[in-house]
Structure 1
Amino acid sequence: MLDALTLDQIRMFVTVAEAGSFRSGASRLLRAQSAVSHAIANLETQLGIALFDRSGHRPVLTAAGLALLEDARAVLLKVDFMKARARGLGEGVETELSLVVDTLYPLPVVAAALKDLRDALPAVRLRVTTEPLGGPLQALRDKRCDLAILAGEDFLDPRIETEALQPVAIVAVAARGHPLARRHKASLSSRDLADHLQVVLEDPTPLSQGRDFGVLSPETLRVGTQDAKRALILAGVGWGRLPRWAVERELADKHLVSLAASALGPAGLAHTATYLARRTDEPLRAAAALLRSALQRHALAADVPAVRRKGARGDAVR
C-alpha cells in the first residue's frame, strides 16, 4: 500500500500540519476541505497510523504524525529540487542575475567574481545590493534575488541551500579622539564598553525581532547601513564593530583604533562565518553557476586565518 502514496497526499499532510487545521490547509491549497480531509484519511490508512488526533476542536499531530512530518518535508524538498534542476537543464543562459550580499562580506571578493562573470557572459544584466542581518535571507525567501551571501548562523533556513565561503574578521573600533581610543592598548571589559554609546546595525526584516547581536552598551545609536555606521564611528559619535576589510586604511592611518575588548573576542577580534545561499526550488542556471564558482574561487584566495577554513562556527555580532 505504501507504493500508492502520492506527492499530493504528502503535500496536503505538511500543509495542514503547518496551517493548524484542515480548513486553513485547504484554503492554502485552494482545495475543498472535504477533499483534503479525505486525502489525509486515505494517507493514514495507507500508512497504517493516525497522523492527527481529531478529538479536540482543532486537529493535533500525533506522536507518529510529528515523527513523519520531517520525513514528509524532506520528500517535498527533494522533489522541488529535482524539478528545479530539470528546469535548469532545459533552459539556456539567464538574461539577468541578482545577488544580495550581507554588509559584512568583503566587496572586493564580490567584485572579482562579478568581473569573471562579466568576462565570460557580458550580455547578462547584473543587479547587486547589500543588506544587513536578515536582509539577504529575506530576499531569497521573497524571490527578490537568485543568490545571496549570508553572514553568521542566525539566519539559516532548511529551504535555503548554503555553501560555506570564507570567515570574515570583525574588529571593535573607535575614532582616534574617542575616550576608548586612549585605552586601546589595555584590555577593555564589558563594563568599560557599556559606559559609551555603541553604534549598531538595525535589521530591516523581522527575522531578528527581539534579539540583539553583540550589543553591550545600554545606550545605542541604531542605523540601517554599514556606511552610516562607519561614518558615525569615524566621526567619534560612538564605538562599534566593523568588518576589518572595510576599515583597513583607516586603521593603518590611525583614524580608527582597534579596541582590545576581550568580551568581543581575543583582542576585540572575532570571525563570522559566511555562506553562499540559494533557494532549493529554483534551478541553478548558467550565469548563477558561473558566479557561484567564481565566488568560491576568490573566497579561497582571500586572506583569512587557516584555522577558520576548517569550518569553525562564527559569531553573528553586528
Structure 2
Amino acid sequence: MIDALTLGQLRTFVAIAEAGGFRAGAARLRRAQSAVSHAVASLEQELGIALFDRDGRRPVLTPAGTALLEDARAVLLKVDTMRARAQGVSQGLELELSVIVDTLFPLPLACAALQAVHARYPSVRVQLQVAPLGGPLDALLEGRCSVAITVGNDLHDPRVKKEPLTTVPIVPVVSSSHRLGASLRARKRLSADDIGEHLQIVLIDPTPLSARRDFNVLSPRTWRVGTQEAKQALIEAGVGWGRLPLWTVETALRDARLLRLVASNLGPAGEAREQAYVAHRRDRVLGPAGRAFREEVLCRV
C-alpha cells in the first residue's frame, strides 16, 4: 500500500539517484549498504515498479524511477519545510549570521544592511563572503550560509526562495591604453566583431553549477580569473576587455583610465542590467538576525 511508504525510503531513493550508486548513497546517508539496498527494495515492492536497473556495474534509473524522482524530491522538500517552520516557532537568536553576496552586487548596500542588523543584534557574529556566479547559490544549497544575494537569472533551484532587489548595471570596459581604447578615442565605430577579436577577461565559476557554460562571452580568446578584483586589474593593465559592474568602475571611467565599449549586442549604450535577489532556503527558517538582514536589504533598494 502507498500509505506504507516512509520518508526514510524516499530519502534513500533520492540519495542513491543523486550519488550515482548504492555504495555512494549509503556513504552520504551514513548507513550500511545492506540497509540502503533493503530500503530501496521495500520501496520498489510498495510501488510495484523497479526504480533502478541493476544489470550493469552501476545502478541506472529506470524510466519509472526517473519519473518518480522529482516527486520524491518534492515530498521531501515539503516535509523539510514543515519541520523547519515548526522549529522556527521557538527558535531563539542565532549565534552567527553567515551571508554570501554575489560579486556583482554593490557591496556597500549589503554592508549598510549588516550595520543595521548589528545595531539591533550586537551579540550576533557575522561572516560575510563575496563569491562569483554560482557561489552564493551553492553556499545556500550546501548550508554554508543563511542568506545570500544572487545576481542574474541563469541559475535556479526549487529549494531556494528568491526575492527581487534592484537591477545591477553591467558595462563592458577596456583600458585607455588598449588598442580598443585607441579606436574609441579616435571615435571609430566598433562592431561586436571588432571587440570579439580581442582577448576577453572572464570570471570562473568556483562551483559546478555552470560547468561548461559561458555567460556573455564574445571573444574566442579568453583569460579566466577567480575574482572580480583580478579581472578589473587585468583590464586596467590593458591585457584585455571585459564586463564589470558599473559601481566598481565609476571612478576609473570618470578618470578615463577605463573606457566603455558600445556595440549593439552589448546592451543599450553598452550597458546590460542584471536582476539581483535576496535568497534563502525554503526548508530552513531564518533566525531573527537573518530576517532582519533580509528586511534591511529589501528596503534599501
Interval containing the TM-score (normalised by the shorter chain): 0.7 to 0.9
CA spacing shift, 1:28–1:195, aligned 2, 3 Å: closer
Q: Is the 8 A contact 1:186 1:260 kept in 2?
A: no
- Alpha-carbon displacement from aligned partner over 1:14-58 (angstroms, at most 9, x marks no partner): 223334444443343333444434333333343344433455555
* Cα separation, 2, equivalents of 1:180 and 1:56: 56
The alignment status of 1:43 with 2:43, answered yes or no, reads yes
Q: Which residue of 2 aligns with 1:128?
A: 128
The alignment status of 1:91 with 2:91, answered yes or no, reads yes
Q: Which residue of 2 aligns with 1:294?
A: 296
Q: Is the 8 A contact 1:187 1:262 kept in 2?
A: no
Q: Which residue of 2 aligns with 1:66?
A: 66
SS at match of 2:256: coil
Tell me the matched-pair count. 299
SS at match of 2:156: coil
SS at match of 1:273: strand
CA spacing shift, 1:222–1:52, aligned 2, 3 Å: closer
* Cα separation, 1, equivalents of 2:213 and 2:55: 38
Which residues of structure 1 form unaligned runs of 5+?
300-318
SS at match of 1:149: strand
CA spacing shift, 1:84–1:252, aligned 2, 3 Å: same
SS at match of 1:228: helix
Deviation at 1:71, TM superposition (A): 0.7
Instruction: Output the aligned Cα RMSD.
Output: 2.6
| Amino-acid identity (%) | 58
* Cα separation, 1, equivalents of 2:79 and 2:167: 32
CA spacing shift, 1:178–1:132, aligned 2, 3 Å: same
Instruction: Describe how 1:103-142 pairs up with structure 2 within 5 A.
Output: 103-142=103-142
CA spacing shift, 1:156–1:25, aligned 2, 3 Å: same
Which residues of structure 2 form unaligned runs of 5+?
none
SS at match of 2:163: strand
Q: Which residue of 1 aligns with 2:279?
A: 277
CA spacing shift, 1:54–1:105, aligned 2, 3 Å: same
Give the residue type in structure 2 aligned to 1:7: L
Normalising by structure 1, we get a TM-score of 0.82
- Alpha-carbon displacement from aligned partner over 1:33-92 (angstroms, at most 9, x marks no partner): 444343333333433444334555554433332221111111111112222222232221
Give the residue type in structure 1 aligned to 2:179: P
Q: Which residue of 2 aligns with 1:313?
A: none
* Cα separation, 2, equivalents of 1:257 and 1:270: 16
Match 1:260 to one of 262, 267, 280: 262
CA spacing shift, 1:19–1:225, aligned 2, 3 Å: closer
Deviation at 1:173, TM superposition (A): 1.2
